[in-house]
Amino acid sequence: MGVPCVRVEREAGEETRSRLAEADLVAGGYEIVVDEAAIYLPVTDPAEVPADLDVVEYDAPARETQTMPSDEVSFEPSYERIGDVIVIDEDDSERARALADAIMASDLPARTVLNRASKVKGETRVRDWEVLATEDETNPTEVVHREYGCEFALDLAEMYFSPRLATERHRVVEQVAENERTFDMFAGVGPFVIPAAKRGAEAVGVDVNEAAVKYLRENARRNGVEERVTAINADVREVADDYEDWADRLVMNLPHSADEFLDAAVRLAGDDCTLHYYDIQHEDDPYGPGERAVRAAAEPEYDVTVETRHTVRSYAPHELNVVLDVRLTR
């Protein structure tokens, strides 16, 4: 069905739109259409349009409005997207149900809604999930996540992954130089390893979780860097001797217990090595314990210089997730 539109030459489009807007005549429910010769500006009342403008009936499409979860629930919803899986953190089961329904009814590209059902736990740092809604009964927790031009396939039920660390990972990866040797001691599905390899590094990723390493290998192929990535399923302490003196860069993202792995890190470090050491500490002294632990493990064999002290995010009340970028020079 036709909509009354002011038809003007394209060059006059913006000026005419402003005139119509000042007169409160723009019909916001329809799209402005541009063709080769003219622009069609939908109007609310053709009788009010100034006489010097030409009004025609035109088939302008209705403007699509996006429905968001917040349109459907009476509280301010909080959620996180990992590919087309939407993650929420609701203790109240009624709120969780309402939010899951709102997400599935919204225009968000959502295949599955998961509620956090435990903290990350154990050696592999995997959490339990409650599947609140899914269009995929076979693999509700498997997903492809995109981050800074890389694709990561992963299964949230089997391995750790957090999209919240994307900016931090990017900060680290931007420091990677072509042909350097990057070693991720706790690699997961490869969110440090894959982009480092994409920048031209020779990258090794180790993880004790066999499923994560399977996805790490797949992600290396997906991103076209399998030739530069070595994925190893092991306890990193058992691998350290095979890569002694090897690394130009070490990533240690196991923040609750990284200090237990510093002896292995020192074995892996080459003559001049940058160590990204993640830690969770009280806000009163967030960097001190990490720095002391690194010095205790690396000195006097290495000169230790803390180049960056950075808060990644707040972890819990009064607790911070921090990172130290430490230069180890033999």
| Residues in touch with ligand SAM (CB under 6 A) | 123-125, 159-161, 165, 186-188, 191-192, 206-209, 212, 235-236, 253-254
Q: Which residue is nearest to ligand SAM (CB)?
A: 188
Q: Which is nearer to ligand SAM, 102 or 326 (CB)?
A: 326
Q: How far is the CB of 133 from ligand SAM (least distance, A)?
A: 25
Closest approach of ligand SAM to the CB of residue 118, in Å: 15
d(CA 255, CA 117): 21
Q: Between residues 194 and 298, which has the closer beta carbon with respect to ligand SAM?
A: 194
Q: Which is nearer to ligand SAM, 156 or 304 (CB)?
A: 156
Across 282-295, b (16+ Cβ under 10 Å) vs e yields eeeebbeebbebbe
> What is the closest distance, in whole angstroms, from the C-beta atom of residue 278 to ligand SAM in the complex?
8
Which residue number, 90 or 259, has a Cβ lying nearer to ligand SAM? 259
State in angstroms the smallest separation of the CB of 210 from ligand SAM. 9
Measured from the CB atom, the residue of 161 and 302 that comes closer to ligand SAM is 161
**Beta-carbon contacts of residue 158 (< 8 Å; ≥ 6 apart):** 126, 141, 209, 211, 212
* Measured distance CA(110)–CA(87) in Å, rounded: 10
Contacting residues for 226 by C-beta, under 8 A, at least 6 apart? 217, 220
Place of tokens 């480092």: 196
Minimum distance from residue 208 beta carbon to ligand SAM (Å): 4
| 116 bridge partner residues | 129
8 A C-beta contact, residue 108 and residue 81: yes
Nearest distance in Å: CB 178, ligand SAM: 22
Least distance CB 159 / ligand SAM (angstroms): 6
Smaller CB separation from ligand SAM, 48 or 260: 260
Whether residue 300 has a cis bond before it, omega within 30° of 0 = yes
3-state secondary structure 3-15: EEEEEEEHHHHHH
Q: What is the closest distance, in whole angstroms, from the C-beta atom of residue 122 to ligand SAM in the complex?
A: 9
Of 58 and 161, which CB lies nearer to ligand SAM in the complex structure? Answer: 161
- Report the residue number, 35 or 260, with the smaller CB distance to ligand SAM: 260
Cβ nearer to ligand SAM, comparing 159 with 273: 159
Measured from the CB of residue 217, what is the shortest distance to ligand SAM in angstroms?
A: 14
